[in-house]
Structure 1
C-alpha cells in the first residue's frame, strides 16, 4: 500500500486521536484517515449524482 505524507493542524490531529486506540472507533491513525477519505469521496459522488455530473448504474443500462 502506498504511503502519503500530509500536514495536519495539531488541533485536527488531537481531535482525530480521540477516536483512535483501544477506546476509539479506529485501530490507528491510518485506519481513521482511510475511513475519512472513503466517506468524503462517497459524499462527493452522491453530490455529483444529484447534480447529474456522473452516470449511475441505472442510467448506464438504458
Structure 2
C-alpha cells in the first residue's frame, strides 16, 4: 500500500484523535483517514452522478 504525507492542522488532528483508540470508532489514525477519504469519494461520486458527470464504469 502506498504511503502519503499530509499536513494536518492540530485542531483537526485533535478531533480525529477523539474517534481513534479503544473508546473510538477507529483502531488508528490511518484507518480513520482511509474511511474518511472513501466516504468523501462516495459523496463526490453521488454529486457527479446527479449532474450526469460519471463515466459508465
TM bracket (short chain):
over 0.9
TM-score, normalising length from structure 1? 0.87
User: Equivalent residue for 1:36?
Assistant: 36
SS in structure 2 at match of 1:30:
helix
**d(CA) in 1 for partners of 2:13 and 2:36?**
13
Q: CA deviation at 1:26?
A: 0.1
Q: List, as ranges, runs of 4+ consecutive aligned residues in structure 1 with deviation greater than 3 Å.
A: none
User: Equivalent residue for 1:53?
Assistant: 53
* Count of equivalent residues: 57
Which structure 2 residue ranges, 5 or more long, are not aligned? none
Provide the alpha-carbon RMSD of the alignment.
Answer: 1.2
TM-score, normalising length from structure 2? 0.95
Kindly name which structure, 1 or 2, has the bigger radius of gyration based on alpha carbons: 1
| Aligned partners of 1:49 and 1:56 also within 8 Å | no
